[in-house]
Amino acid sequence: MGRPNVGKSTLTNAIAGQKIAITSSKPQTTRRAIRAIVNREKGQLIIVDTPGIHRPRTLLGQRLNDLVSSTLTDVDVIAFCSPANEKIGPGDKHIVAELEKYPRAKKIAIVTKVDTVSKVKLAEHLLDVSQLWDWKEIIPLSALTGDQVELLVDVVLGMLPQGPALYPDDIDTEETLEERICELVRESALELVEDELPHSLAVTLDEIVEGDVKPQVHVSLWVERDSQKGIVIGKGGSMLKEIGSTARVGIQELMGTDVHLAIQVRVAPDWQRNPKQLGKLGF
């Protein structure tokens, strides 16, 4: 767990060795509790990448916080993440205060993005983190360089209860192909659009049609207002084209084949606050 943008999804992918959760420089992009299943000689680790915890401003925000709470009730270890290059603040303290609610789990702290700071800065940050809670472990690492990532895996595996593996060893995630395709389109759109718009985006899969040459993947990219539709499409469709070509690269890698990607931009009025629209979009 941790504030938005601290590197939770990037770390999940670094451990899994592939992109399971989308990542973004825009905060609050993870909208599901995504499970990555990691098999090592010593055992099986199921990482749950959660949406960042923050004060909810919309019904969507509230639902995501609820999702995080129900997930944390089930896990054996909770890892609180904070980036080395940002001072511990009220947002972090709010999250740490929540830890009381999950007495079952062992708590560790992860200091992310150590590649961005000096040794002195890192030492200061570690000290600040150590004063937040009586952590079982504090592990500084960088998901970008891979520094200490395997150490984290090893430490956490050592904290897990013994028992049979929960998943077969050839499964990487419970995310379906459909979900992963939608997330790749959303990731691409997130990076390309400006400012407030990222929060308004959602993606659903309409169908995958077996074409003569290659499969045709049809998705809908949802926005909240008509005015946003124009922004996402761009001048002469330029923005949409760019979103599509970036997403297509990831989808082709995922499906192991060339695909034709068709994106339809549609409006679901005020969907982040509207229970009916939220349901339609899968929340």
Length of the chain: 283
Collect all residues with Cβ–Cβ distance below 8 Å to 250 and sequence separation of at least 6.
Answer: 19, 184, 187, 188
Specify the stretch interacting with ligand GDP by CB under 6 A; choose among 33-41, 64-72, 113-121, 160-168.
113-121
- Check if the beta carbon of residue 7 is closer than 8 Å to that of residue 25: no
Specify the stretch interacting with Mg ion by CB under 5 A; choose among 5-13, 100-108, 249-257, 271-279.
5-13
Rounded Cα gap, residues 140 and 199, in angstroms: 30
Residue 112 is a binding residue for Mg ion (CB under 5 A): no
Q: How far is the CB of 211 from Mg ion (least distance, A)?
A: 33
The strand order across the sheet containing 202-209 reads 202-209, 216-223, 260-267
Specify the stretch interacting with ligand GDP by CB under 6 A; choose among 71-79, 94-102, 108-116, 200-208.
108-116
Nearer to ligand GDP, 20 or 217 (CB): 20
Nearer to ligand GDP, 57 or 214 (CB): 57
Taking Cα atoms as reference points, which of 242, 248, 241 lies closest to residue 216? 248
Q: Which of residues 46-65 bind ligand GDP (CB under 6 A)?
A: 52
Residue 220 is a binding residue for ligand GDP (CB under 6 A): no
Collect all residues with Cβ–Cβ distance below 8 Å to 190 and sequence separation of at least 6.
Answer: 22, 24, 26, 29, 198, 201
Residue 30 is a binding residue for Mg ion (CB under 5 A): yes
Q: How far is the CB of 29 from ligand GDP (least distance, A)?
A: 6
Angle between helix 238-255 and helix 177-192 axes, rounded to 10 deg: 150
Residue 50 is a binding residue for Mg ion (CB under 5 A): no
- Residue carrying structure tokens 């961005």: 116
Residue 143 is a binding residue for ligand GDP (CB under 6 A): yes
Residue 6 is a binding residue for ligand GDP (CB under 6 A): yes
Q: How far is the CB of 29 from Mg ion (least distance, A)?
A: 6
Rounded Cα gap, residues 5 and 45, in angstroms: 23
CB-based burial of residue 88 (10 Å sphere; 0-12 exposed, 13-18 middle, 19+ buried)? Answer: middle
Task: Kindly tell me which residue out of 1, 2, 3, 9 binds Mg ion, with binding defined by CB under 5 A.
Answer: 9
The CA-to-CA distance between both ends of the chain, in Å, stands at: 20
Collect all residues with Cβ–Cβ distance below 8 Å to 237 and sequence separation of at least 6.
Answer: none
Residue 191 is a binding residue for ligand GDP (CB under 6 A): no
Residue 188 is a binding residue for ligand GDP (CB under 6 A): no
Nearer to ligand GDP, 5 or 274 (CB): 5
Specify the stretch interacting with ligand GDP by CB under 6 A; choose among 7-15, 148-156, 253-261, 275-283.
7-15
- Check if the beta carbon of residue 58 is closer than 8 Å to that of residue 7: no
Q: How far is the CB of 91 from ligand GDP (least distance, A)?
A: 12
Extract the tokens encoding 226.
Answer: 């008509």
Which partner, ligand GDP, Mg ion, none, binds residue 25 by CB below 5 to 8 Å per kind? ligand GDP
Binding site for ligand GDP (CB under 6 A): 2, 4-10, 23-25, 30, 52, 112-113, 115-116, 142-144
Interface ranges with Mg ion (CB under 5 A): 8-9, 30
